[in-house]
Amino acid sequence: MNNFDFNLLVVLNALLEDCSVNLAARKLNVTAPAIRKLLNKIRALFNDPILVRSGTKLIPTPKAIALKEDVRQLVNRIESMLNTNMTFEPHTTIVSFTIAANATIVFTLNALLFCEVQRSAPNVFINLVHDSDYDDDFLRSNDIDLYIGEMCDLNPEITIRIIHSAKCYFMCRCGHPILASDKSMDNLLKYHFMQTKEKYPK
């Protein structure tokens, strides 16, 4: 028991609630293959198949049925105890994070980020998505966990940290009226312009 991973109880609880690997994965924000791997550990731990296939469905074994209520209560008690003092243990925590970022950032950070996560947090899964599909509503609803991109107007409950700054360049023809005026955003918006949002670095 000294090496027992209590995260397995969380996974077992989700599996017994839904009798579905895919639903348990969705509930715990991890991938289905990760749940299958952990189910194999649970089966070895209890020396029981826990869930067996019946037609197109998974059904709990008699031992799993006997464990269900005790597991549910135990997980609820543990979550209640940890709720006010939760700590992140990267080597043992099973969780996934969805990060929205523009293509340049994804291209730059992809390899470094995944190598570091694999080294220090092997049970953490990172899902990178295109930032143009998301806004702060998705942060509030937990559809994404982190947005990396340019500053924009966000609701006050969203925590913001500046991690990098970059210059923005505008190009225009010789003799354009904007060259003789103040280069403010208000003046820029008086003219039509073409915006190139993203470009992969060479």
Report long-range pairs for 28-37 (Cβ below 8 Å, ≥24 apart). 28/94, 28/95, 29/95, 29/96, 29/125, 30/94, 30/95, 30/96, 30/125, 31/96, 31/125, 34/94, 34/123, 34/125, 35/11
pLDDT value, residue 171: 83
pLDDT value, residue 199: 44
Rounded distance between C-alpha atoms, residue 68 and residue 48, angstroms: 14
pLDDT value, residue 202: 37
Domain range list for the chain: 7-82, 95-148
SS3 content of the chain, % helix, strand, coil (to 5): 45, 10, 45
What is the chain's pLDDT, residue by residue, as a tens digit (202 residues)? 556 677 889 899 999 998 999 988 888 878 888 899 999 999 999 999 999 999 889 999 999 999 999 999 898 887 777 665 556 778 887 778 888 887 777 777 777 888 888 888 888 888 887 766 555 566 666 677 888 877 666 665 567 777 777 777 778 889 888 888 887 878 888 888 776 655 444 3
Q: What CATH superfamily classification does 95-148 receive?
A: Periplasmic binding protein-like II (3.40.190.10)
pLDDT value, residue 86: 58
pLDDT value, residue 60: 94
pLDDT value, residue 201: 40
110 near 128, Cβ under 8 Å? yes
Amino acid at 196: T
pLDDT value, residue 85: 57
Q: What fold does the segment set 7-82 form as a domain?
A: Arc Repressor Mutant, subunit A (1.10.10)
pLDDT value, residue 99: 85
